[in-house]
A and B are shown apart, each in its own frame.
Chain A
Amino acid sequence: MRPRLDLPAWLFGSIAVGALFGLPFVISKANRIVPGVPVGLVDALGPGSVLRWWVLAVIGVTAVLTQRRWLRLVATGLLCVWFALALGHAAQLLTPPGNAVVRIAPGAGFWCAMASVALLGVDAAARLQLRALARLALLGLVMLVLWAALASGYFDHVSVVREYAVNADRFAHEFSRHLSLALGSVLAAVAVGLPMGLACQGRPWLRQAVLSTLSLVQTIPSIALYGMLMAPLAALAVTVPTLAQWGIGGIGYAPAVVALFLYALLPVVANTVLGLASVDPAVVDAARGMGLTDGKILTRIRWPLALPTIVTGVRVVLVQNMGLAAIAALIGGGGLGTFIFQGIGQTAIDLVLLGALPTVALALAAGVVLDALVEWLDRRRPA
């Protein structure tokens, strides 16, 4: 291959350099809600060895110039580590000793540089065409590095980590609540949606009715759907006290999980119908010719062939519900949205980020895991 100018690498490389040196790297705030003072990268890092700039330059130049995709992936990963270390160092340097009120927040320069470099890395990873297992391993590595970084204490002075330290107990609770909202609703949707999709098979009138009803549900804004379920569930809890004992009622977990379930139903049913319908009739005929019963044809032929399409539907739904679960907080359903909406209410940006960053991370991770699963199923599918 003739070496030539890699335009995206140059463009995003330049954006990263511009952001690092042209935009504030960190924002220093006197407390968690006042607007802060922007600090550039050079001032934020303070005096120190010139070696760190050389490290940055060498990795950066490698990332932009290299033709090898795996080398670019490694270089962009190292660049992200460099930015993170710089942020942690700046936070330590700018926080007066013993002061627990000052907040050092990542600034626009940090975010833009991180985003453009991460984009280059994701692009390199995508072009490497890693296999499902390798992508999962990469995700695991990223999570491990993140966990180790946060556990090391190096980042304790960064604003979001401070906010976490204040809310640590609640965070664990809301995080698991968020997961249970998103996963529980998707599992329920799969349990109900698969039989529904099967029932629609070969009955066009039923398919039409089910799919158009479910697409109507999709047009209702999420906060309204949550709200609309509050009244019937409250009534249900009053008439059947046993349900109330299980925590089912007008506010909280129940309406949230039912709303998420309703949103999840359409893609699951639609993809089940699509997957089953896309099985070649000739294959089914051949199986019937070989003397297989309808039940065996379903479990041995139709099902394995339709599975990747169905799991693609589950992927859409899981990613979507990881995000939508954040809105459950508005009706007292808990989840990471609690921090987002409290933060918006208090104009405490660090608190907003404490809710928003894990939400985004969960959605992205769910996407990577389910993508890998779809690919694995696709490869196992008999040709």
Chain B
Amino acid sequence: MKASGVIRVGVWGLLIAFLLKPQVFAPAFAPLTQHDAPAIYDQGDLATLAWAHLGLVLTATSLSALLAIGLAILVSRGPGRAFLPMSRSLVGIGQTFPPVAVLAIAVPLVGFGIKPTLIALVAYGLLPIFENSLTGLSQVPASVLEAADGAGMSPIQRLWSVELPLARPLMIEGLRQTLVISVGTATLGSTVASQGLGEVIIAGLLSDNSAFVLQGGLITGLMAILLHDAVGLIAQRWQRPVQ
């Protein structure tokens, strides 16, 4: 196994061990606490919170991917092309919109809990995937499209077996960006009472316990890096038979 493989397995092992048996790591966090405060988050089970966090991120990212790729396909052909310039301006504006503001504006619309967080994550996750899918689809050379037409492919066949595979690497890059952003943004959900690892960090901020803040931050940071890495790995495996 290569060095990168060893590191990967090691980091996964560390994260899972920490989630399942956090008390083992208590001595490492104890120096950060004051006045005998608990070193490990004690107001809930870390594994449950991490699981809820992961579920939220994966649900939101799947929804974003479906919507974003669908929209990118729509605006890159037929009458949808009229929307292409506008969708580019929309992406530009969307990227300037702060995630906190999306969350803050979603709360009055749908109330507290998981719903505003999901809306903010889906809306914010759309942009990287949409932009990359659009770039990927519009970079397919015209000669390739003509060859596909010449071979008698229907527009749907052409999309499915020529355009999408060629655009795939860029789409996956967008997906990875969205995953990393979502894991971080989902922690903000805890300010509007949605379950997740943000709870640990906020509990630490409120009780002035740096150990909580650090472990919440480490778990989310590791989760983001591992998801980014895992999607890259899956994409590599998937790409191989095509080449």
Q: Do A and B come from one complex?
A: yes
Q: Hey, which bits of chain A sit against chain B, CB under 8 A?
A: 6-8, 11, 108, 119, 122-123, 126-127, 216, 218-228, 230-231, 319, 322-324, 326-327, 330-331, 337, 340-341, 343-344, 349, 352-353, 355-356, 359-360, 363-364, 366-367
Interface bits B166-191 vs A (CB < 8 Å: 1, else 0): 00000000000000100111011001
B224–A227 CB distance below 8 A = no
Max chain B C-beta neighbours (<10 A), residue from A341, A344, A349: A344
Q: Which of B128-136, B143-151, B198-206 faces chain A?
A: B198-206
For B96, the chain A residues whose CB sits under 8 A away are 319, 360, 363-364, 366-367
Q: Complex: how many Å from CA A281 to CA B191? A: 51
Q: Complex: how many Å from CA A360 to CA B224? A: 26
Interface bits B211-240 vs A (CB < 8 Å: 1, else 0): 001101100110011001000000000000
Q: Complex: how many Å from CA A337 to CA B100? A: 8
Q: Which of B12-20, B39-47, B77-85 faces chain A?
A: B77-85
Are A341 and B191 also in contact (CB < 8 A) when A7-B83, A123-B85 are? Answer: yes
B-side interface mostly: helix
With beta carbons under 8 angstroms apart, the residue of A127, A223, A225, A343 that contacts B104 is A343
Q: Complex: how many Å from CA A366 to CA B187? A: 26
Q: For residue A323, which residue of chain B has the nearest CB?
A: B98
26 contacts between A and B (CB under 8 A): A7-B83, A8-B86, A11-B83, A127-B85, A219-B221, A219-B225, A221-B221, A222-B187, A223-B205, A224-B214, A228-B214, A230-B210, A231-B32, A323-B97, A324-B98, A330-B202, A331-B205, A337-B100, A349-B108, A352-B108, A356-B100, A356-B105, A363-B96, A363-B98, A364-B93, A367-B96
Max chain B C-beta neighbours (<10 A), residue from A226, A227, A360: A227
Are A228 and B213 also in contact (CB < 8 A) when A219-B225, A223-B198, A352-B108 are? Answer: yes
Are A223 and B202 also in contact (CB < 8 A) when A343-B104, A344-B192 are? Answer: yes
Q: Complex: how many Å from CA A153 to CA B96? A: 30
B104–A355 CB distance below 8 A = yes
For A119, the chain B residues whose CB sits under 8 A away are 86, 89-90, 93
Q: How far is the CB of B140 from chain A (nearest CB, A)?
A: 23
Q: For residue A351, which residue of chain B has the nearest CB?
A: B104
B89–A224 CB distance below 8 A = no
Interface bits B63-92 vs A (CB < 8 Å: 1, else 0): 000000000000000010011011011101
Q: Complex: how many Å from CA A364 to CA B100? A: 14
Are A344 and B104 also in contact (CB < 8 A) when A221-B217, A363-B97 are? Answer: yes
Q: Complex: how many Å from CA A358 to CA B216? A: 30
A330–B184 CB distance below 8 A = no
Q: For residue B222, which residue of chain A has the nearest CB?
A: A219
For A226, the chain B residues whose CB sits under 8 A away are 205
Are A216 and B105 also in contact (CB < 8 A) when A123-B85, A230-B210 are? Answer: no
Are A126 and B100 also in contact (CB < 8 A) when A221-B184, A221-B187 are? Answer: no
Q: How far is the CB of B1 from chain A (nearest CB, A)?
A: 21
Q: Complex: how many Å from CA A56 to CA B86? A: 24
Q: Complex: how many Å from CA A258 to CA B217? A: 16
For B187, the chain A residues whose CB sits under 8 A away are 221-224
Q: Complex: how many Å from CA A322 to CA B228? A: 26
B85–A126 CB distance below 8 A = yes
Q: How far is the CB of B112 from chain A (nearest CB, A)?
A: 8
A223–B201 CB distance below 8 A = yes
B79–A326 CB distance below 8 A = no
Are A224 and B188 also in contact (CB < 8 A) when A319-B96, A356-B100, A363-B98 are? Answer: no
B220–A221 CB distance below 8 A = yes
Supply 4 further A-B pairs (C-beta < 8 A) apart from A324-B100, A331-B205, A340-B104.
A230-B213, A323-B100, A356-B100, A360-B96
A-side interface mostly: helix
Q: For residue B212, which residue of chain A has the nearest CB?
A: A227
With beta carbons under 8 angstroms apart, the residue of A218, A344, A366 that contacts B191 is A344
Q: Complex: how many Å from CA A356 to CA B98? A: 9
Q: How far is the CB of A272 from chain B (nearest CB, A)?
A: 21
With beta carbons under 8 angstroms apart, the residue of A8, A349, A353, A359 that contacts B98 is A359
**7 A-B pairs with the lowest CB-CB distances in the bound complex, closest first:** A323-B98, A224-B217, A227-B213, A221-B184, A231-B210, A219-B224, A349-B108
For A327, the chain B residues whose CB sits under 8 A away are 100, 188
For B204, the chain A residues whose CB sits under 8 A away are 227
With beta carbons under 8 angstroms apart, the residue of B86, B107, B216 that contacts A352 is B107
Max chain B C-beta neighbours (<10 A), residue from A122, A223, A228: A223
Q: How far is the CB of B28 from chain A (nearest CB, A)?
A: 14
With beta carbons under 8 angstroms apart, the residue of B93, B97, B105, B214 that contacts A122 is B93
For B101, the chain A residues whose CB sits under 8 A away are 323, 326, 340, 356, 359-360, 363
B99 interface hit (Cβ, 8 Å): yes
A228–B98 CB distance below 8 A = no
Are A220 and B217 also in contact (CB < 8 A) when A227-B205, A344-B104 are? Answer: yes
Q: Complex: how many Å from CA A355 to CA B100? A: 10
A122–B89 CB distance below 8 A = yes
Max chain A C-beta neighbours (<10 A), residue from B32, B92, B105, B204: B105
Q: Complex: how many Å from CA A253 to CA B17? A: 36
For A108, the chain B residues whose CB sits under 8 A away are 109
B79–A7 CB distance below 8 A = yes
Q: For residue B88, which residue of chain A has the nearest CB?
A: A126
With beta carbons under 8 angstroms apart, the residue of B86, B88, B109, B221 that contacts A220 is B221
Q: How far is the CB of B61 from chain A (nearest CB, A)?
A: 15
For A340, the chain B residues whose CB sits under 8 A away are 100-101, 104
Q: Complex: how many Å from CA A224 to CA B185? A: 11
Q: Complex: how many Å from CA A223 to CA B104? A: 16
Q: For residue B187, which residue of chain A has the nearest CB?
A: A221
A126–B89 CB distance below 8 A = yes
Max chain A C-beta neighbours (<10 A), residue from B107, B109, B217: B217
